[in-house]
Amino acid sequence: MPHVVLERVPSMDALAAAVLTDPVRWGRAVLRTTGLWRRDAPPGALVEGVVVELSRPLHPVAIVAPRKENLMVRLWPLVPVERTQAVQRWLALLAAACSAAGAGAVVSTNIPEAIREGVLPD
C-alpha cells in the first residue's frame, strides 16, 4: 500500500488550508483533490481525489492520521482503487501539502523516487 510517513502532526486548520484543489498535470495524467473531511480530536482527515489518465478516471481516497508522533498519509483500503503511478503521485502531492502545513520532512515512504521527484524530497 503506498504511504508516506512525516515527522509531526500539523494542526488540521493548517492542513485544510495547505491542500491544493487545483488540477495538476503530470505526464498524461491530471490529478486533483476534490474533497477533505477532517476531525480535530483525534486529528485526522479523509481526502478524496480524482486521477484521470487516458480518459479513465480513478477516485482515490487517502487517510491522513497520526501514527505515534508521526503523520501517516496512505490510501484508504476500504476504497478499491488501482495503485497506478498517477495515483501514487497524487498521494505524494498530498503528503507535500501536509509537509508544508507543518508535518515536516519525510521519515519513510514506499513511493518510488521517480514518482515523487520534484514533490517530496528524500
Task: Quote the CA–CA distance of 116 and 122 in Å, as a whole number.
Answer: 9
Give the tens place of pLDDT for each residue, 72-101.
Answer: 999 998 888 889 999 999 999 999 999 999
Integer angstrom CA distances of residue 85 from 4, 17, 31, 44:
15, 26, 11, 25
**Residue 31: beta bridge partners?**
24, 51
Task: Quote the CA–CA distance of 9 and 71 in Å, as a whole number.
Answer: 5
Give the tens place of pLDDT for each residue, 23-44.
Answer: 999 999 999 999 999 988 888 9
Integer angstrom CA distances of residue 109 from 16, 36, 74, 106, 120:
22, 22, 10, 7, 10
